[in-house]
Amino acid sequence: MFKKSTWLHLRIPFSYFLLPVFLFALAVSVNINPTSIVIVLVALHIFLYPASNGFNSYFDKDIDSIGGLKNPPPVSKGLYYVSLAFDVTAVALGLMINYDFAIMLVIYGLVSKAYSHPSIRLKKHPVTSWLVAGFFQGCFTFLMVYVGLNDFSITTVLNPTVLTPAILTSMILWGSYPMTQIYQHQADKERGDITLSYKLGINGTFYFTAIMFAISTLGFLYYFQTYYSFSYWLDFLIALSPVLLYFTIWFIQVRQDASKANYTRTMWLNFISATCLNAFFVYFFLDSSQLIQAIQGGF
């Protein structure tokens, strides 16, 4: 059960790429405390996400590169049991906050399992899997984190001030999700998993992501101008400028040589995007909560 391959397939470091959703929800939260921050962060990023990774890896039995694991080792039955144990641990941590948060953890876990489980296997359905993955890793997770951090019930967060940023997280993920599949076309085809990226083609995936990025950027303009200030949108654009630069250079390279659409370059895009978004949302949290001003004032 505790083989090295099991821990590799859990891909705990890969949770870093999903950290922007947590940080965004933290930045707009109104009723948080350090204990809640730690519990929610550990429940999601140490247990829930790795549980999903491990469970899906067990059923996928990948031999080609997957997100966060360039050379995946063979899976064992122990991976299946460890992933379930991680799920249970995540829910147990959720119960330390409230029932709503714990129930949302259960729902996320069940939906994530449908992605690769042979009885459902959403991966075989390009549009459905894209919609479901983007919604649950984005909007649903944002609301889940918000409920956990603030110790609220789900009914209290169904208002525009919370739903708007939640939807924006899904917009970003709907744009970036096909890019994470761009190097897996052949492996997915051989397994019978027709992803959205495969349907779009390599060049089409780049165009699709660019369009979705433009739409989500306009969405952030509306959000910051409506609820905060226009200056935050400018800061958002500056923070993401390295992503746009890398994306543009990479696309030019791929247009000249399609083999450049590979695992290594995809992971670099993921890393740069996550790092830039994480940095911005940390700044947004510190500035909008006036913690920066408090620190500067000597408090």
**Three-class DSSP labels, the chain:** CCCHHHHHHHCHHHHHHHHHHHHHHHHCCCCCCHHHHHHHHHHHHHHHHHHHHHHHHHHHCCCCCECCECCCCCCCHHHHHHHHHHHHHHHHHHHCCCHHHHHHHHHHHHHHHHCCCCCCCHHHCHHHHHHHHHHHHHHHHHHHHHHHHHCCCHHHHCCHHHHHHHHHHHHHHHHHHHHHHCCCHHHHHHHCCCCHHHHHHHHHHHHHHHHHHHHHHHHHHHHHHHHCCHHHHHHHHHHHHHHHHHHHHHHHHHHHCHHHCCHHHHHHHHHHHHHHHHHHHHHHHHHHCCHHHHHHCCC
User: Of 73-77, 96-100, 199-203, 208-212, where does mean pLDDT reach its minimum?
Assistant: 73-77
Q: What is the pLDDT of residue 68?
A: 67
Q: Would you place residue 63 in the very low, low, confident or very high pLDDT band (cuts 50, 70, 90)?
A: low
Q: How far, in Å, are 114, 128, 228, 262, 299 from residue 70 at the CA level?
A: 24, 26, 41, 11, 46
pLDDT band per the 50, 70, 90 thresholds, residue 240: very high
Q: Please state, in angstroms and rounded to a whole number, the distance separating the CA atoms of residues 266 and 274.
A: 12
pLDDT for position 94: 97
Task: Spell out the domain ranges in the chain.
Answer: 4-292
For 32, residues 6+ apart whose C-beta sits below 8 A from its C-beta are 26, 149, 150
Distance CA 204, CA 14 (A): 26
Kindly tell me if the per-residue pLDDT of 144 is higher than 80: yes
Residue range 146-167: average pLDDT? 93
Q: Is the pLDDT of residue 178 over 70?
A: yes
Averaged pLDDT for residues 212-237: 96
Q: Which pTM value belongs to this model?
A: 0.92
Q: Which CATH number applies to 4-292: 1.10.600, 1.20.1070, 3.30.1120, 3.30.70?
A: 1.10.600
Q: Which long-range contacts (CB under 8 A, 24 or more apart) does 87-91 make?
A: 87/47, 87/48, 87/51, 87/55, 89/47, 90/43, 90/44, 90/47, 90/48, 90/51
Neighbouring C-beta atoms of residue 101, cutoff 10 Å: 28
